[in-house]
Structure 1
């Protein structure tokens, strides 16, 4: 992401990190024992679904924030600009929470050697086989649903209705994969606060998928097959 976009989002995510530390501190402490003493804090391992989801969704969200800022500069349509603002604000805050949890758990923000993207989700992701992705050239798309470098370049160059349609199509793909990832965490993660966040992502992004389908139809377009 460009330095300008990074500066525009850093302040949003920063406050969310502090909030995440408060939530995760409570979420990772085991319940009190019968004698009234607190059990030792239990934190996820680096190979857990909790850590994998936090790492991968932070990357996924960062691109959604980037695309949202790009389209806000490429169109004057207030509906698209409002949607882009909502996505950027929501996902920057959620990204801050995910990174804050990794800080609290003292886990790396990048996958350890041998753990590629989505390795915490067994089998397939959104109909895409994730096995064997490591080392392959996906034109910058690290996970299913992410836009490629070429697609991001086209979005930066587009203006007006063309920018609106491309953004809505790219963000639809992005949300579909994001929903699948969040469902995976809702099933597999063990930290209650993270499971609740993941389910909230599922609900919110499914709602936005319906809205984007309507917005594409209003522009004589449709989601990409």
Structure 2
């Protein structure tokens, strides 16, 4: 996947914060208009063509939307951090692409939860909807597989130049691996055809980015963390 060109105009950290607040809502509205709300709520159809009911509060549909939105937000945060820690065109282009892609997808998932009349947060353990007795224990701010810890985020903020590039790329490989696992888990359980298509797009796109990131690491004499 070829990363998009970085826009010439710089975005300040304050502006970036505002963008993170309004992007999801604006994008969710656009998606609802483009896809058609009936495809996502009661009266829509699943992959078999039968009428689908509105997802329940603890359904795989709702759980995936919530958890992946949280996972995506950290990828966005990581990418904003590295964008301000390096001037390298390749890494900044990758970060810019991840910010745009994952903010878009996050807005879609938040919009669906809103249309379904469901909360954006749940008291259940992350990824419980996968029904696989997931053994991952949240720690130090890392709520799901692949998510960086608070300690790792602080380290990234302390680096600059190639050191920041390498560490960001290594964290993003792990982040994408966790994202692919979750997205594939939903694809295997999905009853909502529209959400399943988005999850499959995530699987395909993030696998491709893992290959790209691995190449960028090799150019810098580094390897993924695992």
TM-score by length of 2: 0.86
Matches within 5 A, 1:144-159: 144-159=145-160
Equivalent in 64, 76, 79 of residue 87 of structure 2: 76
Q: Does 1:118 align with 2:118?
A: no
Report how many residues are paired: 207
Deviation string for 1:90-128 (max 9, x for gaps)?
Answer: 0001000000000000001001x3x11110012255xxx
Match of 1:209 in 2: 210
Deviation at 1:68, TM superposition (A): 0.4
Match of 1:94 in 2: 105
Q: Distance in 2 between matches of 1:44 and 1:24?
A: 16
Question: Residues 81, 30 of structure 1: CA spacing in aligned structure 2 closer, same or farther, 3 A cutoff?
Answer: closer
Equivalent in 91, 116, 119 of residue 105 of structure 1: 116
Question: Residues 106, 219 of structure 1: CA spacing in aligned structure 2 closer, same or farther, 3 A cutoff?
Answer: same
Q: Is the 8 A contact 1:24 1:104 kept in 2?
A: no
Match of 2:67 in 1: 56
Equivalent position SS for 2:84: helix
Q: Distance in 1 between matches of 2:133 and 2:178?
A: 11
Deviation at 1:26, TM superposition (A): 2.7
Gap regions ≥5 residues in structure 1: 32-38
Deviation at 1:40, TM superposition (A): 8.1
Deviation at 1:182, TM superposition (A): 0.6
Q: Distance in 2 between matches of 1:163 and 1:51?
A: 35
TM-score by length of 1: 0.86
Q: Does 1:220 align with 2:215?
A: no
Match of 1:25 in 2: 37
Q: Distance in 2 between matches of 1:41 and 1:103?
A: 17
Question: Residues 41, 122 of structure 1: CA spacing in aligned structure 2 closer, same or farther, 3 A cutoff?
Answer: closer
Runs of 4+ with deviation above 3 angstroms: 2-5
Deviation at 1:20, TM superposition (A): 3.4
Q: Distance in 1 between matches of 2:208 and 2:110?
A: 25
Question: Residues 124, 165 of structure 1: CA spacing in aligned structure 2 closer, same or farther, 3 A cutoff?
Answer: farther
